[in-house]
Amino acid sequence: MTDAAADNMPPGAGRAAPAVETPWRRFMADFCANRLALFGLVLVIVVAAAALLAPWLAPQNPYDIAKLDIFDSKMPPGSASSDGTLTYWLGTDGQARDMLSAMMYGMRVSLLVGAVSVVVALAIGTVVGLTAAFFGGRVDAFLMRCVDIQLSFPAILVALILLAVLGQGVDKVLYALIAVQWAYFARAARAAALVEREKEYVEAARCLALPRRRILWRHLLPNCLPPLIVIATVEVAHAIALEATLSFLGLGVPVTEPSLGKLIANGFEFLMAGKYWIALFPGLALAMALIGINLVGDHLRDILNPRNAR
Amino acid sequence: MSDAASPTLELADLKTHFFTRDGVVRSVDGVDLQVGAGEVLGLVGESGSGKSVTGFSILGLIDPPGRIVGGQVLYRGEDLVQASSARLRALRGRNIAMVFQDPMMTLNPVLRVDTQMIEAIRAHEAVDDATARRRAVAALTQVGIPSPEARLRSYPHQFSGGMRQRVAIAIALLNKPDLIIADEPTTALDVTIQGQILFEMRKLCQETGTALIWITHDLAVVAGLADRIAVMYAGRVVEHGATAEILERPRHPYTHGLIGSVPTRGHRGQALFQIPGMAPSPLRLPQGCAFQPRCTRAVAACAAMPDLQEIAPAHQARCWNPVP
Amino acid sequence: MLVFIIRRLMQAVVVMVVMSALVFGGIYLVGNPVTMLISDQASEAERLAVIRDLGLDQPVWQQYLTFVGKAVVGEFGKSFRAGEPAMQLIFQHMPATIELALVAMLLAVLVGVPLGMYAGLRPDSLRARGIMTVSILGFSLPTFWVGLMLIMLFAVALPEWIPGWPRLPSSGRGPTVDILGLKLSIFTAQGWLHLLLPAATLALAKGALIIRLTRAATREVLPMDYVKFARAKGLSERRIVGVHVLKNIAIPIATVTGLELGQVIAFAVVTETIFSWPGMGKLLIDSILLLDRPVVVAYLVVIVFFLVMLNLVVDILYSVLDPRVRLEAQGR
């Protein structure tokens, strides 16, 4: 930085908040200052609520084949069911499932896959990353070389091949997603830990002769978490999109438990025939979820990045 | 002394403020200065005093959230605050040139030196490449760079810090400006190189009649260089006068403290004077004289801002209770 | 420079060996290839014959060496489906994919860099905010759904709603022209029309990425002293942005664009499936779904080789673009 910048930005004018402002309040104020991010948060909440409460909110249980009336298939939005008991606000798909209900249940699968895979990948990646950073030397070189190799290959290809080998199923999709995601977290965790390792509190803990394991988990880990949480937020969106893509290609979840991607794939064949709703609505729901998560994650990154502090 | 009738540059009540989210920073808050042809003005102050912002304000190079909120920058009688951006661009580098503090950062790392020199000429004159190149070589020779033709084809990182600053100075000299603003150009350099550059700059200005504003935090640097010195504190000029006068008879307690805190041979073995307290936060400047809380000579009158007043012939200070 | 390239080449060889082992392990050892290769009605004798033919009775390391030996000369067996050598199939389909990927990447760069620079130069303007919001859409929306929506809009809805609106083709490559033995679409108007939707689909996510990268790089470069110094020299805004800023941000942009080309080729798997684009991505999906193992293996080896080479080329390109790195390398 030049002297001019130092002149412009006196100490205390930039990052440091006045004494009354706690970091948490500042964070909340920063977050709420951005209406787009708030909008994203609302989207996420709506989508998550619809998914969680699907069994109580959905007009129909799309998994219950007995409830489906084959004469109701591919009905446009707003039509009444042939037994007159309910209105298909968003139409029905090729198997006569109410689109709205199928989407709510599909969202459950999508969110579940996204959240679980990220949590597991985060755990694995953090352990690997912290281990590499803390022990350094050969351990570090070996682990990071693995991460580099993994990351130089497109996630979609790795996942595709894994699924081709493993076969179909929600659990298989989870394995594939975890396998492609852990490396991001490992790299980020290592980077964060390398910075934290040099700080005084770690030095102090070492001087107290605390056991290594305790320093690693009780001192380093909590301080490395914020950047990891930002990545995790965005990765949930990645995971959901990847799962949808795999399911669309026919390699993801089975037909019996359709995620949003699978629903869209089912609608693809009817698209050219002008039956747009089967692919459009699940896609919109998917887009809502992904955009919401990305808006929140994007803004979190802006706030938590000290470089962007104004 | 300068020819007061037609100064090359005159600042009148210049105010540059920064509108940060934590409040308004009055980096420059009413600065009056002038500098004439062939004259060297030393602008002294600690970091945060507004001296660099003053320099950048002259050329209109203040980035948001800062802007000039009042006063005039009169270049040969023309107010640059009101000038169009096209007019400012035409003046920059041609009539008024600038040398920055950190030579490692002023040159673009991915462009060769010749590109950066030739574009500076061609931004102002329609000359062919060969002519521009000849002038670039001449400018490099002028600042003492050996084998300039060969060095032109180098990238900045192939030069040492001192050499890079010479290149930056050569760029400033390319269009033979009337005024050069040098923003601590020697601070980042070794002491020996600093001395060489000071000597050469002084010589160049005398030879060409260029006015020079030398911004620094180091009184010792301007002592042997400047004709006049202006001392800034918290956005204002607090003392101004001929170099010898200021150094020998500082009247403002701040200047007095500054000079007292420079180690000299006469001081050997004695404790250095230290100005008590810290520079105030520019967001919450004290009422009245900004130096008052740190001042050993503060009186009741200091609660009001004093004017910059003539305290001796050609010597002004902004103080109610100046050092006798 | 030479030392640098040799060192990177050696790393590339190591990666190739590791990856070939993984491909071999993943494809040959997981699951029993024999059950996939032989019909259920085959007799025990036939089974044994096949096992011997494939060398499956040999120790694993020997099988691996055989695999590598054959892979080096591009021999992966014949496709179960097409009956042609797998490698030949891959090479037949490769130009279509590369063409699509290059056009998509070009589109992404041509749109992304100017928009990103604009957003970086005026970060608080309304338009910049608009650009950034759209870019979030761009990388949020999954490629396949974007493709479907484009088809719906340009191949179904718009031509129906607005009379005279041209119906964009949504399937296949259109007519191709042979250039040096490669079939290419970009030399006919029809070919371009066919390219439009799939390339736009692929370009959207990458364009969004390039917008964000360019904006970040621009914002990083702008406060630099050398930009201010360029202003102090009296240069025009155009020259400052077009030369001083652009030359500096070009380095990260070129690097990322190069690396992302690999991603684009991988993601072409999805786009090609939607638009029935006869490239190697669609070939891969079809082969996976039909358990056409030789083609899958051939694809993997080719793509791994391609990605490793791409990384190498990008590294070299980076050192050519950045004079600081370039001279350091020469000095060694």
pLDDT tens sequence across B60-97: 888 888 889 988 888 888 888 888 888 989 989 889 99
Cα–Cα distance, C18 to A149 (Å, whole number) = 9
pLDDT of B117 > 50? The answer is yes
Q: Are C279 and C94 in contact (CB under 8 A)?
A: yes
- Closest-CA residue of A relative to B57 is A4
A290: chain C residues, CB-CB within 8 Å: 140-142
What is the extent of the structural domain holding C99?
A: 89-279
Whether residue C174 sits in one domain with residue C148: yes
CA distance, residue A308 to nearest chain C CA (Å): 10
Q: pTM score, two decimals?
A: 0.82
Closest CA to C218 of C128, C141, C121, C146: C121
What ranges do the domains of chain B cover? 1-85+179-187+207-264+272-324, 96-176
Low-confidence stretches of chain C (pLDDT < 50) are 329-332
Residue B210: left if φ>0, alpha if ψ -120 to 50, beta else—which one?
beta
Cα–Cα distance, B45 to B59 (Å, whole number) = 20
- Closest-CA residue of A relative to B66 is A8
State the DSSP string of chain A.
--HHHHHHS-TTTSSPPPTT--HHHHHHHHHHH-HHHHHHHHHHHHHHHHHHTHHHH-SS-TT-GGG--GGGTTPPTTEEPTTSS-EETT-B-TT--BHHHHHHHHHHHHHHHHHHHHHHHHHHHHHHHHHHHHH-HHHHHHHHHHHHHHHTS-HHHHHHHHHHHH-SSHHHHHHHHHHHHHHHHHHHHHHHHHHHHTSHHHHHHHHTT--HHHIIIIIIHHHHHHHHHHHHHHHHHHHHHHHHHHHHTTSSS-TTS--HHHHHHHHHHHHTTT-THHHHHHHHHHHHHHHHHHHHHHHHHHHH-GGG--
The reported pLDDT for the residue numbered A11 is 42
Token pair 């905010």: residue? C129
Residue C172 lies in a domain: yes
Whether residue C227 sits in one domain with residue C186: yes
Mutation for testing the B interface, residue in A8, A303, A308 having most B CBs under 10 Å: A8
B109: chain C residues, CB-CB within 8 Å: 226, 248, 323-324
Q: Are B80 and B28 in contact (CB under 8 A)?
A: no
Confidence of residue A18 (pLDDT cuts 50, 70, 90): very low
| A vs B: CB pairs below 8 A | 56
Token pair 């990071």: residue? A144
Higher confidence at residue A15 or residue C296? C296
The reported pLDDT for the residue numbered A225 is 83
Higher confidence at residue A135 or residue B265? A135
DSSP structural state of residue B294: G
Cα–Cα distance, B62 to B50 (Å, whole number) = 12
The reported pLDDT for the residue numbered C28 is 62
Confidence of residue A7 (pLDDT cuts 50, 70, 90): very low
The reported pLDDT for the residue numbered B27 is 87
Residue C104 lies in a domain: yes
The reported pLDDT for the residue numbered C113 is 94
Give chain A's mean pLDDT.
80
Question: Dihedral angle at the C-alpha atoms of C259, C262, C266, C271, nearest 10 degrees?
Answer: 80
Taking the Cβ of residue C247 and every Cβ of chain B, the question of whether any pair is shorter than 8 Å is answered with yes
The verdict on a CB contact (< 8 Å) between B184 and A310 is: no
The domain tally of chain C equals 2
pLDDT of A86 > 80? The answer is no
Residue C23 lies in a domain: yes
pLDDT of B145 > 90? The answer is no
In this structure, are strands B309-312 and B315-317 parallel, antiparallel, or unpaired? antiparallel
CA distance, residue C321 to nearest chain B CA (Å): 8
Taking the Cβ of residue B94 and every Cβ of chain C, the question of whether any pair is shorter than 8 Å is answered with yes
- Closest-CA residue of C relative to B181 is C232
Closest CA to B188 of B166, B162, B218, B170: B162
Whether residue C148 sits in one domain with residue C219: yes
Cα–Cα distance, A132 to A186 (Å, whole number) = 9
Taking the Cβ of residue C230 and every Cβ of chain B, the question of whether any pair is shorter than 8 Å is answered with yes
Cα–Cα distance, A40 to A213 (Å, whole number) = 39
CA distance, residue C228 to nearest chain B CA (Å): 7
Residue C285 lies in a domain: no
pLDDT of B3 > 50? The answer is no
pLDDT of A9 > 60? The answer is no
Predicted ipTM beyond 0.90: no
Whether residue C153 sits in one domain with residue C74: no
Contacts of C189 (CB under 8 A, 6+ apart): none
CA distance, residue A156 to nearest chain C CA (Å): 7
Please state the rounded mean pLDDT for residues A178-206. Answer: 85
Please state the rounded mean pLDDT for residues A210-228. Answer: 80
Taking the Cβ of residue A257 and every Cβ of chain C, the question of whether any pair is shorter than 8 Å is answered with no
- In this complex, the chains that touch B, judged by 3 or more CB pairs closer than 8 A, are A, C
B61: chain C residues, CB-CB within 8 Å: 228, 231-232
Contacts of B261 (CB under 8 A, 6+ apart): B272, B273, B274, B275
The reported pLDDT for the residue numbered C86 is 84
- Closest-CA residue of B relative to C327 is B158
The reported pLDDT for the residue numbered C100 is 92
Residue C186 lies in a domain: yes
In this structure, are strands B66-75 and B78-79 parallel, antiparallel, or unpaired? antiparallel
Q: What class, spelled out in words, does domain B1-85+179-187+207-264+272-324 have in CATH?
A: alpha beta
What is the CA B201 to chain-centroid distance, rounded? 13
Q: Are C319 and C329 in contact (CB under 8 A)?
A: yes
Cα–Cα distance, C111 to C131 (Å, whole number) = 11
Which of C:246-285 have CB within 8 Å of A?
Answer: 262-263, 265-267, 269-270, 273-274, 284-285
Please state the rounded mean pLDDT for residues B101-107. Answer: 85
Q: Are A246 and A162 in contact (CB under 8 A)?
A: no
Q: Are B36 and B13 in contact (CB under 8 A)?
A: no
Angle at C186 between CA C180 and CA C189, to 5 degrees: 130
Handedness of CA B296, B299, B304, B309 (dihedral sign): negative
The reported pLDDT for the residue numbered A5 is 41
**Integer CA distances (angstroms), C110 to B142, C103, C106, C266, in order:** 44, 10, 6, 21
Of the ranges A278-287, B34-43, C15-24, which one carries the lowest mean pLDDT score? Answer: C15-24
Whether residue C154 sits in one domain with residue C247: yes
A11: chain B residues, CB-CB within 8 Å: 281
DSSP structural state of residue C153: I
Of the ranges A228-237, B206-215, C313-322, which one carries the lowest mean pLDDT score? Answer: C313-322
Higher confidence at residue C152 or residue A23? C152
The reported pLDDT for the residue numbered A213 is 77
Please state the rounded mean pLDDT for residues A40-58. Answer: 87
Render pLDDT for B160-191 as a digit per residue (tens, 0 to 9).
888 888 899 889 888 888 899 988 888 777 77
Mutation for testing the B interface, residue in C122, C226, C240 having most B CBs under 10 Å: C226
Residue C284 lies in a domain: no
The verdict on a CB contact (< 8 Å) between A272 and C267 is: no
Render pLDDT for B58-70 as a digit per residue (tens, 0 to 9).
988 888 888 899 8
Whether residue C258 sits in one domain with residue C219: yes
Whether residue C316 sits in one domain with residue C208: no
pLDDT of A4 > 50? The answer is no
The verdict on a CB contact (< 8 Å) between C323 and B168 is: no
Closest CA to B171 of B205, B121, B109: B121
List own/partner pairs for B254-261 with CB under 8 A and 24 or more apart.
B254/B291, B254/B295, B255/B231, B255/B317, B256/B323, B258/B44, B258/B219, B258/B231, B259/B219
Q: Which residues pair with B15 in a beta bridge?
A: B29, B70
Cα–Cα distance, B100 to B62 (Å, whole number) = 14
The reported pLDDT for the residue numbered C117 is 93
* Residue percentage of chain B with pLDDT more than 90: 7
Whether residue C116 sits in one domain with residue C51: no
Cα–Cα distance, C286 to C292 (Å, whole number) = 8
Please state the rounded mean pLDDT for residues B273-293. Answer: 78
Superfamily for the A37-56+95-304 domain: MetI-like (1.10.3720.10)
Residue C41: Cβ within 10 Å count? 6
The verdict on a CB contact (< 8 Å) between A274 and C270 is: no
Q: Give helix A277-304 / helix A35-52 axis angle, nearest 10°.
A: 130
The verdict on a CB contact (< 8 Å) between B105 and C251 is: no
Residues of B in CB contact (< 8 Å) with A are 18, 20-23, 25, 27, 47-53, 55-56, 66, 100-102, 105, 183-184, 187, 281-283
**Which burial class, exposed, middle or buried, applies to A170 when counting CB atoms under 10 A from its CB (0-12, 13-18, 19+)?**
middle
Please state the rounded mean pLDDT for residues A165-182. Answer: 87
DSSP structural state of residue B203: H
Q: Which two tokens stand for residue B159?
A: 């030069």
Which of C:161-220 have CB within 8 Å of A?
Answer: 170
Q: Are C149 and C254 in contact (CB under 8 A)?
A: no
Angle at A137 between CA A131 and CA A143, to 5 degrees: 50
Which of B:33-62 have CB within 8 Å of C?
Answer: 56, 59, 61
Handedness of CA B257, B259, B261, B265 (dihedral sign): negative
What is the CA C292 to chain-centroid distance, rounded? 22
* Nearest Cβ partner for C234 among B89, B110, B157: B89
State the DSSP string of B85-150.
HHHHHHHBTTTEEEE-S-HHHHS-TTS-HHHHHHHHHHTT----HHHHHHHHHHHHHHTT-SSHHH
Q: Are C254 and C246 in contact (CB under 8 A)?
A: no
Confidence of residue B264 (pLDDT cuts 50, 70, 90): low
Cα–Cα distance, C307 to C23 (Å, whole number) = 15
Render pLDDT for B306-322 as a digit per residue (tens, 0 to 9).
888 888 888 888 888 88
B101: chain C residues, CB-CB within 8 Å: 225
